[in-house]
Structure 1
Amino acid sequence: MSRTSIGLSERLNDYIVGAHTAEHPVLTTLRDKTAALPEAGMQIAPEQGHFLAFLVRLTGARAVLEIGTFTGYSALAVALALPPDGEIVACDVSEEWTSIGKRHWLEAGVAERIDLRIAPALETLEALKGEGASSRFDMAFIDAQKSEYDGYYEACLDLVRVGGVIVLDNMLMSGAVAEPGAGSAGVAAVRALNAKIAGDDRVDAVLLPVGDGMTLARRLV
């Protein structure tokens, strides 16, 4: 929804981005190419890429699940942070958009860490369950069809191990979630999921104003 963090002035946002360690040059190239697309608003902000990579290193994640890959920026940020034998299973429906990512994954030398699955995400998640992938993943990142977020969340509670982290993007929907009854079906779905997670004793969760709002939910049971 936004390539900057919600509620920040442009000057402060630029300062925060600049306060991080230098972005990998291939990430910068991919981010710049994505910015030229009409759908560029679906790209996560650079500070979110840093945050996801930090979470991978902090948790020692070796297996990550991504739901919604777009042009592959977030998958690349995660893959670069994974150990050499780590893997990210990336789910998307677009060959066109993910083909942009593939070129950059190769250039960055991490293509072998990324298992791209092209199909509706809910179908891929069911297939993973059928492959015996319950509790296989250390971390999941959800950034796809908002009306299906609840389904993604429930699937991840099975696929992510106890103690693992589920990260959900766009949980503030440009602020629309704070306007009761307002917004699209996607906004309504995210608003309902925010309320559900707040009362869900299966997780320990926090909602952060990073990007367009990122929820971190740690699986407890």
Structure 2
Amino acid sequence: MSIAEVLPSDGCVLALEITDAYLKDYCIPAWKMANVESKIDFRLGTATQTLQNLIDNGESETFDFALIDADKQNYSNYYELCLKLIRPRGIMAIDNVIWSGLVVDETDQTSETVGIREVNDLIAGDNRVRISLLNLGDGLTIVVKK
């Protein structure tokens, strides 16, 4: 919502969510109160399919910014799809990349931790991007597409 508040009048935040459980009672009233309802495009469904649909509809390299903060097992998939959608010099932020320090604990083989480890390794070796890791909270990687 904070991003929508600072966008120009023709700007748009595309919000992807697997459930609309909080949409009616929380999200829409908050968006209305902040006067940003017209700037938020809510898409219900799986993020992988929604992102792929955007690509299939010719929206590759049209996004300025993408934030990944979803099911950790699919972080690598979301990263690759978002990389196709953001324009050159566009920015992607990936949340929870430190995961309470569990990413360096090789005994932790939960699907969430493994998913974050995989995306961290993928990004670290990706010559299509420049990266910076912010050691704030649970970790945030900032990716700039070359």
TM over 0.5: yes
Matched, 1:133 2:59: yes
Mind listing any 5+ residue stretches in structure 1 that lack a counterpart? Answer: 1-75
Structure with greater strand percent: 2
Cα displacement string for residues 93-143 of structure 1 (whole angstroms, at most 9, x for unaligned residues): 111123311110011101000000000101100111122110010000010
Mind listing any 5+ residue stretches in structure 2 that lack a counterpart? Answer: none
The answer for the alignment partner of 1:168 in structure 2 is 94
TM-score, normalised on structure 1?
0.64
The answer for the alignment partner of 1:13 in structure 2 is none
Cα displacement string for residues 62-99 of structure 1 (whole angstroms, at most 9, x for unaligned residues): xxxxxxxxxxxxxx111012111100111001111233
TM-score, normalised on structure 2?
0.95
Find the aligned partners of 2:70 and 2:76 in 1 and give their Cα distance. 11
- State the superposition RMSD in angstroms: 1.0
Contact 1:176/1:183, CA 8 A, preserved across alignment: no
Contact 2:76/2:122, CA 8 A, preserved across alignment: no
Paired amino acid for 1:145:
D
The answer for the alignment partner of 1:85 in structure 2 is 10
More off after superposition, 136-145 vs 174-183? 174-183
Residue from 33, 36, 53 that aligns with 1:110: 36
Paired amino acid for 1:132:
G
Matched, 1:124 2:62: no
The answer for the alignment partner of 2:23 in structure 1 is 98
Residue from 106, 124, 127 that aligns with 1:180: 106
Number of aligned residue pairs: give it.
145
User: Structure 1 runs of 4+ off > 2 angstroms?
Assistant: none
